[in-house]
Amino acid sequence: MAGEEAPRDPKKSFKLLGILDVGTIPCARESVLYGSLGALTLGLGHFLATSRVRRSCHLGAGGFILTTLGCWFYCRYNNAKLRIQQRMIQEGMRNKVWFEGTQFDPEKQKTSIERSH
């Protein structure tokens, strides 16, 4: 019909500064949100303490950059560490299935060593 809007896609994200798609890049959304919260906290706190507008704006911008980068690197580091752990577990499971029941089976080697003692 003529007056109806198409239903919105819940996974549709917005682009920050027209280039950074916040919804599809891992850790981007959380980093920007925490960065804006850090900027607001630092800028407003400094303004309430000193009543200097210009310096408070500068501290707010610096707080945004530092908080965003800190959250970004922390999140990316944890994601990389998690991917490495998942890869190691997958390889271990693959080896377990591949070598099960053969002479290279680690479980079989353990039981044969225990029996010899």
**pTM of this structure:** 0.66
The domain limits of the chain are 27-100
pLDDT, one tens digit per residue, over 52-97 is 999 999 999 999 999 999 999 999 999 999 999 999 999 988 888 8
Phi, psi of 24 (to 5 degrees): -100, -20
> Residue 59: how many CA atoms within 13 Å on its side-chain side?
17
